[in-house]
Amino acid sequence: MNVPQQTRQAGMAPVSASTSARIRISRSACIFFMLFAHVSIGVSHLAIFASPATPEKIQYLLLSSVLGHASVPLLTVVSGYLLASGRAKTYGLLVTSKFRSLLLPMMLWSLVSIIVLLAVQSYTGTSLYRPATVLDVINSVVALTSSPANYPLRFLRDLFVCMLVAPLLIRLSPRYGWPVLAILVVAALLDRTWPLFLRPQLPLFFFMGIMLAHRSIAWVDRFRVVWFAGAIALTLVRVTAYQYVYELPPLLDIVMRLFVAAAFWCLTRLVSERAYRAFKEVEPAVFLAFCSHTLTYGLLAMVATPFLGRFGDPLFPLYLVLQPIIALCLAYIAWRWFSWLPGFALFNAGKEGGSAKARATRVEVSSAI
């Protein structure tokens, strides 16, 4: 079964160079902004909700709940668009490649997280990882029915499931796109865990990307004024509503995420060629940062939090911004200098590279093996 071939038969043109560059920028930028959704805050989220409306609270809300959460739909839409617009692959090759780039890193990093949790647990005596059933153990690695030990990576698990059902969605899109979209909207609004998906919004966003591939992604830019105005208005609604309700209603939350995501996509056309070249230097390390950021934040919580403070302390606004930057810098260093290690690419969605020394060492190791 040739998955994207149907798109080409329907007259679908290959992704242009400019669109491809914008996709690379938005994809990595979205992954980076997703790191804000899990920063170490030192207090409970309910404590932040109950606190007064301070600039610090608004900063946290904008970075975590607006930019961080709005990155998920854009990243998922882009994934659906790329798959439907890409070159033909057999279904077996599609599943194999997506297993290697999505599910395998989730499993490996979850195993690393379990090892770290057990080590800290044995050292401090704090109960961090105590699965009650065999299913809990399985879920902590493969996320069969619940989140893995490295819980943000459940996104990779759901995206992999989207890839599994992508052939059906691609075939339905040209003729039955709107009815399927309506079904997925209802499923997302119910906001319940499906048997297949832990986050019911993801298949909706993924199918939107497929529909854009069958139609045109250019129309998104034509309505950029609408997206910007809506994103600003809905962000103000989110900030104001947070003083009274912990979460927005599912429909309003989805609409806000989509408007912010569309506005962010429109901004990618303003990135200069020079900035794009600089951006490509760190691009391969962004996925590594996403997979490892909870471990980095855990380390920072032990090392840096006592000095830089928790939410409500004077230095916390700076600490909030620094955490994702530190996670990205550490991932970049690891990618540059340790990519020669056998199996390193398995932790980074198959991405190799790094410094010239690392590449040369990797060749030597491969030859020796």
Which of 2, 15, 158 is closest to 81 using CA atoms?
A: 15
What is the predicted pLDDT for the residue at 193?
Answer: 67
- 90 - beta bridge partners? 2
What is the predicted pLDDT for the residue at 309?
Answer: 77
What is the predicted pLDDT for the residue at 277?
Answer: 79
Q: What is the DSSP string of 102-160?
A: IIHHHHHHHHHHHHHHHHHHHHH-------SSHHHHHHHHH-SSS--SSGGGHHHHHHH
How far, in Å, CA of 246 to CA of 262, rounded? 24
User: Around Cβ 87, how many Cβ atoms within 10 Å?
Assistant: 10
With 0.75 as the threshold, say if the pTM is over it: yes
Q: Consecutive sets of 10 residues in the chain, 369 residues long: mean pLDDT of each?
A: 41 75 92 94 88 92 93 96 84 94 97 94 83 93 94 96 95 94 93 80 96 89 96 95 89 96 94 78 92 94 81 91 95 91 89 55 39
Residue type at 283?
Answer: E
Largest Cα–Cα distance of the chain, in whole Å? 63
